[in-house]
Amino acid sequence: MEYCEVRGVRVPKVGLGTWRMEGEECYDAVSTALELGYRHVDTAQMYDNETEVGRALADADVDRRDVFLTTKVNPRNADREGVVESTKASLDRLDTPYVDLLLLHWPNPLVRIEETMDAMKRLVDEGRVHHVGVSNFPVPMLKKAREVSDVPVLTNQVQFHPHRPQRKLLRYCQAEDLLLTGYSPLAQGELVDDGTLREIGERYDKTPAQVALRWATQHRNVAVVPKSTSREHLADNLAIFDFKLTREEVDEVTRPSLLKTGASMVKGMLR
């Protein structure tokens, strides 16, 4: 496993995303991932699966301190009391005294970001949260969150894949030593049969999905949280650090597309 190190924090470059996983399927996927060597797990209040994630963590033969665990505050809970109380409830469901990273899942225009970040600081001071961040924030809103926060903002979790390379945000994160966490790195499955990725993958005996994940993780300050429930695909998603794309291949893979990004966003409207 390779790691990103930003602001002195080490985060595994590949984690497990659990969006749209429920019940035993979620428990089994997290359990299998931990068995295979995953040490980064991403969940959220909106996913309604924190209990299953927590149960899998508790049952795994892995020290809790070795797992980087992220959950996200439902934007409906973005006010001061909502952040604190909903996070305490998340910790109860996850059966853990702390999360490594707490994010605001989406901006809430009805709540001042100062109030949200102040509540997150309280949770950090109490030891319930180690690091804080945001999700789905454009650069101006990310800058504002950082300006008003009394604790460092570690990451912005956004959709990130070859059709949506987030160039402006990526440049900002790299310049400011922030982590960009990429969700839907396979564009909701749109890239698993991509011809360009397949052609490049044949050079390295890799699948199109592995090429897409390698493309993402070769960027400085980027980690990804692909979702998978299949043992084979979970293993494949980790097996991406034994090859490296050339500069020309990276450019070939990078194909910004509003149309294809829009299609994947429609699939992930509730992400």
Residues 53/43, Cβ–Cβ less than 8 Å: yes
Annotation says 47 is catalytic:
yes
- Beta-carbon neighbour count of residue 270 at 10 Å? 8
Paired sense of beta strands 179-183 and 68-73, if any: unpaired
Q: For residue 100, which amino acid is it?
A: D
**Of 97, 148, 156, 151, which Cα lies nearest the Cα of 121?**
151
Place of tokens 């300006």: 147
Residues 203/245, Cβ–Cβ less than 8 Å: no
**Of 35, 83, 84, 86, which Cα lies nearest the Cα of 59?**
35
- The active-site residue out of 3, 27, 38, 47 is 47
- Report the distance separating Cα 230 and Cα 241, nearest Å: 20
Q: What are phi and psi of 19, to 5 degrees?
A: -60, 140
Write out the catalytic residue numbers. 47
